[in-house]
Amino acid sequence: MLTRFWYCFATSFLAVAVFSLLNSAHSRQSGEVPTGRVPADSVQTPTWDSIYAGIQAGFVKLRPIFEKGCFDCHSDQTHYPWYHNLPGIRGMIDKDIRAAHKRLDMSKGFPFGNRVRPADDLSRIRGALADHEMPPWDYRFMHWNANPSTPARDSVISWIDSSLRLLAAHGQYPFGQPDEALETDQGEEGADSSE
């Protein structure tokens, strides 16, 4: 009876060992990694949709700033002022809004709805904000609260800088130039000091 026990035990042990070896050999042939780690070649690179979704998340956080100073001209959510109904003024405002909306449409978020590459849009917005060109002075004259505060402006510029870095890491540079992907204040100071 004891011999039968050892025979069953040895047979079971041998069967488990053979099964494990066969399974291990099959895993190596099929490319599976038995350690539980994910193989490097199976890691997916991000798609443009996922990259744009990450940038859109930042845009959503900053949307109140854009609504306050940009949406009247650069979206389909225009709030016309009382003086829009005055003769002559109406045509001027409508013309400005059509031109601005054609250049940059923020209605549906990022990427913005026009035919320009997203990195180009972001670079233009950054330049206009940094130079205090947007919102234009004639709009700010009648809409005093449209001009972003310094912290709001800095928040938008910071979002644009990080978005441009992300796009550049995936090969999309403003206006197709890698050296213009991100011009920070520090980089511009460095250029000035070498002159």
Task: Band the pLDDT of 187: cuts 50, 70, 90.
Answer: very low
Domain membership flag for residue 136: yes
Task: Band the pLDDT of 36: cuts 50, 70, 90.
Answer: very low
The predicted pLDDT at position 65 comes to 92
Q: Which of 90, 95, 70, 88 is nearest to 80 (CA)?
A: 90
Helix pair 150-169, 48-69: axis angle to 10 deg: 160
Structural domain boundaries enclosing 119: 48-183
* CB 114 within 8 Å of CB 106: no
Domain membership flag for residue 192: no
Domain membership flag for residue 132: yes
Task: Band the pLDDT of 113: cuts 50, 70, 90.
Answer: confident
Mean pLDDT of 23-47: 53
Q: Which of 12, 16, 37 is nearest to 27 (CA)?
A: 37
Number of residues that this document lists for the chain: 195
Beta-carbon count within 10 A of 163 CB: 24
The predicted pLDDT at position 112 comes to 86
Mean pLDDT of 102-131: 88
Domain membership flag for residue 114: yes
Task: Band the pLDDT of 136: cuts 50, 70, 90.
Answer: confident
Q: Which of 123, 186, 116, 121 is nearest to 157 (CA)?
A: 123
The predicted pLDDT at position 35 comes to 44
Number of domains making up the chain: 1
Q: Rounded to 5 degrees, what are φ and ψ at 95?
A: -65, -45
The predicted pLDDT at position 48 comes to 81
Domain membership flag for residue 64: yes
Q: In the 3-class helix/strand/coil scheme, how is 138-160 assigned residue by residue?
A: HHHHHCHHHCCCHHHHHHHHHHH
The more confidently predicted of residues 15 and 60 is: 60
